[in-house]
Copies of this chain bind each other. A is one copy, B any other.
Amino acid sequence: MAKDKKLVEAITSMDTDFAQWYTDVVKKAELIAYSSVKGCMIIKPAGYAIWENIQKELDRRFKETGVENVYMPMFIPESLLQKEKDHVEGFAPEVAWVTHGGLSELQERLCVRPTSETLFCDFYKDDIQSYRDLPKLYNQWCSVVRWEKETRPFLRSREFLWQEGHTAHATAEEAEERTVQMLNVYADFCEEVLAMPVIRGRKTEKEKFAGAEATYTIEALMHDGKALQSGTSHNFGDGFAKAFGIQYTDKNNKLQYVHQTSWGMTTRLIGAIIMVHGDDSGLVLPPRIAPVQTMVIPIQQHKEGVLEKAQEVKEGLVQAGIAAGLDDSDKSPGWKFSEQEMRGIPVRVELGPKDIEAGKCVLVRRDTREKTECAIEDVAQTVKELLETIQREMFERAKAHRDSHISDAHDYAEFKRAVENKPGFIRGMWCGDQACEDKIKEETTATSRCMPFEDQEHIADTCVCCGKPAHKLVYWGKAY
């Protein structure tokens, strides 16, 4: 049993080498496999099941706000990509180009979508005629391609899965409202389902999306103190509408340009879950996103009645609405424990002949490893409550970790010390000049993460970089 455990747990400690720990977890928890296509990953069942749960939960939340799903082509003609100047500059350098279809060369190159603003705009310009056609609240689930040079599973890959919402509105106010609304859907999802606290804010001009008037973001803090941009929502104003000629006739029979938004979340979230909650035994999944929430593991399962009882317990859990599994494989219990831990299953139920005789079983939490006993007849109710407790405490722990990794810097010396010595977010005032952002990034590798909506405190009068008067509080940090 000891030997079994060692085999499964042979992953690098996160304190020794966080990047290697991440890679080990991703592979050993069987979330992905590398493919023979450089920079593209294979998402294995354990990884894809997490994505399916993310999809299900987000899709439900989108639809509650009136969003409908559609599907756009995966190709964008080069001329279409070029219609909005900032947008093409942002994306052209990193797209994949299709030049041949079948045996012939194409008359015009097609890029594989890196994002679909241009396709939606091209569609909206015909689909929207009157104020009666507005708003359009469309979303699609698909994969996109960005020809990245360096890639890491989930965090940055040449192809990744995502959703992209694209909306069109009659007024600037409505577009702004939708931009914020979707950011809040994202933030609530992260906090309520992924147990991951986020900071909501606005990106600086330097960091905003190519072609957007404003980009809002949610920023989460990983266990190593680095930030991860976890979802963004963009207000395009009427910039794309003017570039593509998307106009509608208003109630007074006057032609008006629409106002647009887009917003996206990706498989990157799986990377976030790993790096916020994981530990040296592997993945730790919040119960609300875990494909398997509870694993029943029989002890001495060859003994009469053990497997039957374990099966009965599992079925009771399933009937109570818990995603429960039963590991009745011929592996040793120790091996099964390690696998359940590596895969991040929130609770395991241990059940052996002695337990059965005493009418009880042992519950072990994945997150704290805390063991409790419970009467077999109460197991469904107890596990149900335990899952809620785990969900809540995982969020609280992640939030405590995040909050203890925020420091304030009042001048550049303090800022640099913080970057070097205290991984995490640094709050510092900013004058609004991009030169300061550039300098900070070059000298410290920290970037401006966002100008937070909440807690816009005036912690100093001057810019943390140049010392000139400053009125904006910015969260800075090293980021994935």
- Is B96 touching A40 in the complex (CB atoms < 8 A)? no
Chain A residues with CB under 8 Å of chain B are 33, 35-37, 40-45, 48-49, 51-52, 68-77, 80, 93-103, 110, 112, 119, 122-123, 126-127, 138, 142-143, 145, 147, 158-159, 161
What's the least CB distance linking A8 to chain B, in Å?
15
Distance, CA A305 to CA B97, complexed state (A): 59
B71–A147 touching, CB < 8 Å? no
Is the pair B161, A71 in contact by a Cβ cutoff of 8 Å?
A: yes
- Is there an interface contact between B33 and A123, defined as CB atoms closer than 8 Å? yes
A251 to nearest B CB, angstroms? Answer: 13
- Contact partners of A42 in chain B: CB under 8 A: 70-73, 119, 123
Identical subunits present: 2
Partner of A100, one of B71, B96, B101, B126: B96
CB distance from A160 to the nearest CB of B (A): 10
Distance (Å) between the CB of A271 and the closest chain B CB? Answer: 15
The docked-state distance in angstroms from the alpha carbon of A74 to that of B36 is: 12
Q: How far is the CB of A266 from chain B (nearest CB, A)?
A: 13
The reply to whether A75 and B159 form a contact with Cβ atoms under 8 Å apart is: yes
Q: Which of chain B's residues has its CB closest to A161's CB? A: B71
**5 more CB-based (< 8 A) A-B contacts, given A42-B73, A97-B98, A98-B112:** A33-B126, A35-B73, A48-B71, A75-B159, A112-B112
Q: Please measure, in the bound complex, the distance between the C-alpha atom of A68 and the C-alpha atom of B43, giving whole angstroms.
A: 11
In the assembled complex, 7 residue pairs joining A and B whose CB atoms fall closer than 8 Å, in A order, are A37-B76, A45-B70, A48-B68, A74-B159, A94-B102, A96-B102, A96-B110
A147 smallest CB distance to B (angstroms):
4
Q: Knowing A73-B159, A147-B101 touch, does A45 contact B68 (C-beta < 8 A)?
A: yes
Task: Give bound CA distance, A68 to B161, whole Å.
Answer: 17
CB contact between A41 and one of B69, B73, B101 (< 8 Å): that residue:
B73
Of chain B, the residue at the smallest CB distance from A106 is B96
5 nearest A-B pairs in the assembled complex, by CB-CB distance: A40-B73, A45-B68, A101-B147, A97-B100, A43-B71
Q: Is the CB of B93 within 8 A of A102?
A: yes
For A96, the chain B residues whose CB sits under 8 A away are 75, 98, 100-102, 110
With contacts A73-B42, A143-B142 taken as known, whether A35 is within 8 angstroms of B97 at the C-beta atoms is: no
In the bound assembly, the distance between CA atoms of A43 and B70 in angstroms comes to: 6
Measured between alpha carbons, how far is A73 from B158 in the docked complex, in Å? 9
Question: How far, in whole Å, are A58 and B371 apart by their CA atoms in the complex?
Answer: 40
Q: List chain B residues, Cβ under 8 A from A100.
A: 96-97, 99
Do B93 and A69 touch (CB < 8 A)?
no
Q: Is the CB of B37 within 8 A of A110?
A: yes
Across-interface contacts of A68 in B (CB, < 8 A): 45, 48-49
Query: Is there contact, CB below 8 Å, between B122 and A80?
Result: no
Chain B residues, CB < 8 A from A37:
73, 75-77, 110
How many angstroms from the CA of A36 to the CA of B142 in the assembled complex? 19
| Of A40, A122, A161, most B-chain CB atoms within 10 Å | A40
Q: Within the complex, what minimum Cβ distance (angstroms) separates A302 from chain B?
A: 19
Cβ A70 vs Cβ B98 within 8 A: no
Shortest CB–CB separation between residue A83 and chain B, in angstroms?
11
- A45→B159 CA distance, assembly (Å): 25
Most B C-beta atoms less than 10 A away, residue of A70, A77, A145, A159: A70
